Amino acid sequence: MEKNDRISPAVIRRLPKYYRYLGELNKVGVNKTSSRELSDMTGFSASQIRQDLNNFGGFGQQGFGYDVGNLRNEIGKILGLDKKYKIIIVGAGNIGQAIANYTGFYEADYEVVALFDKNPKLIGLSIRNALIMDSDDLEEFLKKEHIDIAVICTPKSVSQQVAEQLVRCGIRAIWNFAPKDLKMPEDVYVENVHLNESLFSLTYYYNKMKKESK
Amino acid sequence: MEKNDRISPAVIRRLPKYYRYLGELNKVGVNKTSSRELSDMTGFSASQIRQDLNNFGGFGQQGFGYDVGNLRNEIGKILGLDKKYKIIIVGAGNIGQAIANYTGFYEADYEVVALFDKNPKLIGLSIRNALIMDSDDLEEFLKKEHIDIAVICTPKSVSQQVAEQLVRCGIRAIWNFAPKDLKMPEDVYVENVHLNESLFSLTYYYNKMKKESK
DNA sequence: AAATAATAGAGAAATTTTTCACAATATTTA
DNA sequence: TAAATATTGTGAAAAATTTCTCTATTATTT
Ligand SMILES: NC(=O)c1ccc[n+]([C@@H]2O[C@H](COP(=O)([O-])OP(=O)(O)OC[C@H]3O[C@@H](n4cnc5c(N)ncnc54)[C@H](O)[C@@H]3O)[C@@H](O)[C@H]2O)c1
Ligand SMILES: NC(=O)c1ccc[n+]([C@@H]2O[C@H](COP(=O)([O-])OP(=O)(O)OC[C@H]3O[C@@H](n4cnc5c(N)ncnc54)[C@H](O)[C@@H]3O)[C@@H](O)[C@H]2O)c1
């Protein structure tokens, strides 16, 4: 599908945003758009949007624009949102439960199959059809079920160890919420959600703004 | 403090990571480090680390390295982590509660002062000293209390409206968890945590890896 | 005391990313 | 039908970011 094998991460990071806005246009019945209009919505420059999309081939028509439904579909295919994904969550605390409760990963087929925790008070409870299981049973579970994505929501002290266990059982994609960088083999992809770092950046810009407005 | 007024966002995004690793070194009693060692820990190149730090002036000593405590302090000052910040959370659902419950914004002085929600079942409850208040009382509250950062954890349908209300009451820094890009005046800084986009990127790389390993 | 090794700082080069500019193509208007 | 307008695709230019290279400095070893 790709014209080019190696697409810059910056491009990949922007695709979900295009996808979201195309979904919104779709929902209100707009079926034609342009890089200009997408630029107004996303804040990225029109030429950057065209350049981005051209990495994957021409989805638009010169002189006309883009077909909303088609472009959304193509971006979905690039991201892999046309497939189903089974997810487990390790660590059923605040964040783990919040994610399990979340119904808004709409437009794509993610299913939280189970959660794992070591806290006996949590084991046995269910969150939206997903059972919280004993983390001692994790390896056995993974031997039987095919899971695409594991979410790590444990304290950082055990995150590396949990990640290694997951990888031993065949997991290749980890969504990591613990504030720790996992040391993983090359063929495991880790997407970090480092909320601390996000808040610290925010703090920097907040202070910068205050200083400048003085 | 800065040598240069305009620091690239890429640099700012890396500072929290340096800060975290310096904290870890500090904790285990290491008080001297080098760009080489920080490179091994963070995965950023040594020369990039030196370049980054030089944006703010020389914190190291040629031939010697960096003093861990001092460097951590300096980065903390750059980010503004030497100050206190009062936070409110609007939307006391899954994510709002998870953040209010979180004690791990350690090493900096963030205090969640209150949460706001419109759900009567939540109003009156407390999370770690922070009361969940009626969102109708938000404006009045903000007139009396000085708040630095507002966290938006409402559904996306109301996030723009909530943000505008916050800004009207003087808020200039927003940590936005709703999957929506807020249209805000220039002098308001918005830090987005777009978990959908993060998961979609993960999905892309997961599929890419699978394809390549075939 | 001299030689050696380690390391930051800093300018330059290389690379990556973004923007620009314009030809090609489609639609709309006169 | 012709002219005007809108818009993509694309190569080139510009800008931003990262890496390279070397000098100066410090600590350590001989
Ligand atoms: N809550 C937040 O807002 C927030 C913000 C930033 C980062 N984080 C990070 O996210 C992670 C989870 O945070 P949280 O607030 O949900 O914490 P939490 O304490 O509420 O949940 C952690 C859960 O992990 C479980 N656990 C511990 N060891 C385990 C193991 N070996 N196997 C399986 N489960 C185990 C605990 O029993 C607990 O239920 C932490 O690493 C935290 O630093 C959370
Ligand atoms: N939970 C997740 O894992 C997750 C993941 C990605 C994005 N998000 C986003 O984060 C936001 C919050 O998600 P959540 O799962 O916590 O949802 P939630 O439904 O649990 O919480 C939303 C809360 O906002 C309150 N609310 C609604 N309108 C309000 C208003 N006008 N003023 C004040 N409060 C109001 C609701 O009463 C509710 O308590 C949503 O925008 C969601 O899309 C959540």
Summarised one tens digit per residue, pLDDT across range B1-46 is 334 468 999 999 999 999 999 999 999 999 999 999 999 999 999 9
Taking CB atoms and an 8 Å cutoff, what residues of chain A touch B102? 94
Task: Burial-class residue B214 by CB neighbours within 10 Å (0-12, 13-18, 19+).
Answer: exposed
- What pTM does this model have? 0.96
Q: Which residues of chain B have pLDDT under 70?
A: 1-5, 106
Query: DSSP assignment, residue A136?
Result: G
The angle at the Cα of B43, spanning B81 to A89, to the nearest 5 degrees, equals 80
Closest ligand to A115 CA?
A: 1
Taking CB atoms and an 8 Å cutoff, what residues of chain B touch A105? 196, 199
CB A142 within 8 A of CB A121: no
Task: Give pLDDT tens digits for A59-97.
Answer: 999 989 999 999 999 999 999 999 999 999 999 999 999
The rounded distance, in Å, linking the Cα atoms of A196 and B105 is 6
Nucleic strand D within 7 A of Cβ A178 = no
Rounded to 5 degrees, φ, ψ at B184 are -130, 155
% of chain A with per-residue pLDDT over 90: 90
CB A76 within 8 A of CB A23: no
Predicted confidence (pLDDT) at residue A3 exceeds the cutoff of 50: no
Nucleic strand D within 7 A of Cβ A47 = yes
What are the structure tokens assigned to A104, written together?
């808004």
User: Is the CA virtual torsion A128, A90, B96, A181 positive or negative?
Assistant: negative
Domains within chain B, CATH numbers bracketed: 9-79 (1.10.10.10), 84-197 (3.40.50.720)
Residue B86: strand, helix, or coil: strand
Predicted local distance difference test score (pLDDT) of residue B106: 67
- Between the alpha carbon of residue A29 and those of residues A15, A32, A58, A119, the distances in Å are 21, 9, 23, 48
User: Is the CA virtual torsion B31, B32, B35, B39 positive or negative?
Assistant: negative
Separation in Å, CA of B5 to nearest CA in chain A: 9
Confidence of residue A5 (pLDDT cuts 50, 70, 90): low
Give the number of the atom of ligand 1 that is nearest the alpha carbon of residue A94. Answer: 16
Mean pLDDT taken over chain A: 94
User: How far is the centre of ligand 1, averaged over its atoms, from the C-alpha of A205 (Å)?
Assistant: 28
Cβ–Cβ below 8 Å for A193 and B189: no
Nucleic strand D within 7 A of Cβ B43 = no
Helix A46-54 × helix A35-42 angle, to 10°:
110
Mutation to test the A interface, candidates B22, B28, B74, B204, most A Cβ within 10 Å: B204
Out of B78, B201, B210, closest to residue A13 by CB: B201
Amino acid in position B28 = V
Which positions of strand D lie within 7 Å of protein CB atoms?
6-12, 16-21, 24-27
Strands in B109-117's sheet, in edge-to-edge order, are: B126-127, B130-134, B109-117, B84-90, B149-152, B173-176, B189-192
Predicted local distance difference test score (pLDDT) of residue A101: 95
Taking CB atoms and an 8 Å cutoff, what residues of chain B touch A12? 201, 204-205
Taking CB atoms and an 8 Å cutoff, what residues of chain A touch B206? 80, 148-149, 172-173, 189
Predicted local distance difference test score (pLDDT) of residue B6: 83
Ligand 2: residues whose CB is within 6 Å? A 98-99, 101-102, 104; B 90-96, 116-119, 122, 135, 153-156, 158, 162, 177-179, 195-196
